[in-house]
Amino acid sequence: MRIDLHAHTTASDGAFTPTGLVDHAAEQGVDVVAVTDHDTVAGCAEAAIAAAGTGVRVVAGIEVSAWQDGMGVHVVGLFVDTADPAFLERLDAFRRERAERARLMVERLNALGLTLSFEDVLAQAGDAVLARPHVARALVASGLVPDIRAAFSDDLLGDGGPAHVPRDGTSPSQAVDLIRSAGGVGVLAHPGCGRSRDGRAGIPDDVVEALAAGGLAGIEVDHPQHPPPVRERLRAMADRLGLVPVGSSDCHGPRDDRGARLGTCTTDPEAFAMLRSLRPARRG
């Protein structure tokens, strides 16, 4: 039983359509795949339909972008109700904030002498949720920078760069609450990645401890970007805090610089069952 609880589709920044992701799961021998697009559940329904009769089981999910002390913290939500009206309304508000943020980044790039329009960015995003990578791709497509790496430099769109507009809207604990309000469970995504303000790698322990006390269900231990010593440390931390250890590929496509292939990291069936059992009871 191969269970991969973190994957993206064209509903956000993934290369696979939701149907394509399910087909890929079948090809790769992945039995359970969670569709976890950035701040949207728009790909879940198509994936569920595509999975019918294939033997692949789709978990409806999301990856919520949150911020804590200027550091991006991602929380994966699993088993969310993709038809919950209050949940969808909150996600819509996120989308409006993201569009506003992209617009501001374009303004700042213009002020730096780079002539890019908001429409250029929209063209890159298509139907997907607007995000900084789309601004970066628009810069490349317009020939204003040589590659994505240059767009994400400290001189432009990198964290703290002059054209970067950080999103400070949602805290990780609010993300966990939002996921729980939609009937799901929260899993802290790739806590070994990123850098906090004091320059230390990964999400600080006290942040994880507070989330664990506040209803977080699981934590990604096995992730393609976690080196073995980080996994060891996170496994011990999961054990200490009573968090379910999760393994996920964070797949963004068939072969992707930023990600890994589906099923590269997987979650134990017992851990998966434990996550399911932690779904909050819902009224009505």
Task: For residues 28 and 54, give the distance between their C-alpha atoms in angstroms, rounded to a whole number.
Answer: 13
Structure letter (DSSP) for residue 213: H
Task: For residues 250 and 259, give the distance between their C-alpha atoms in angstroms, rounded to a whole number.
Answer: 6
Q: Which is nearer to Mn ion, 82 or 248 (CB)?
A: 248
User: What stretches of the chain adopt beta strand conformation (E)?
Assistant: 3-7, 32-35, 57-68, 71-78, 185-188, 218-222, 244-247
Tokens of 87: 């949940």
Task: For residues 272 and 78, give the distance between their C-alpha atoms in angstroms, rounded to a whole number.
Answer: 10
Q: Which is nearer to Mn ion, 52 or 191 (CB)?
A: 191
Nearest to 4 by CA among 61, 71, 83: 61
Tell me how far, at minimum, the Cβ of 111 lies from Mn ion, in Å: 27
Q: Which is nearer to Mn ion, 97 or 107 (CB)?
A: 97
Tell me how far, at minimum, the Cβ of 38 lies from Mn ion, in Å: 6
Q: Which is nearer to Mn ion, 34 or 51 (CB)?
A: 34
Tell me how far, at minimum, the Cβ of 229 lies from Mn ion, in Å: 21
Tell me how far, at minimum, the Cβ of 274 lies from Mn ion, in Å: 22
Tell me how far, at minimum, the Cβ of 133 lies from Mn ion, in Å: 7
Phi and psi for 127 in degrees, rounded to 5?
A: -85, -5
Task: For residues 243 and 271, give the distance between their C-alpha atoms in angstroms, rounded to a whole number.
Answer: 10
Nearest to 278 by CA among 207, 209, 180: 180
Tell me how far, at minimum, the Cβ of 53 lies from Mn ion, in Å: 28
Q: Which residue is nearest to Mn ion (CB)?
A: 74
Residue ranges binding Mn ion (CB under 5 A): 13, 63, 74, 189, 250
- Between β-strands 32-35 and 57-68, what pairing exists: parallel, antiparallel or unpaired? parallel
Whether residue 105 contacts residue 111, with contact meaning beta carbons closer than 8 Å, is answered with no
Q: Which is nearer to Mn ion, 132 or 180 (CB)?
A: 132
Q: Which is nearer to Mn ion, 107 or 224 (CB)?
A: 224
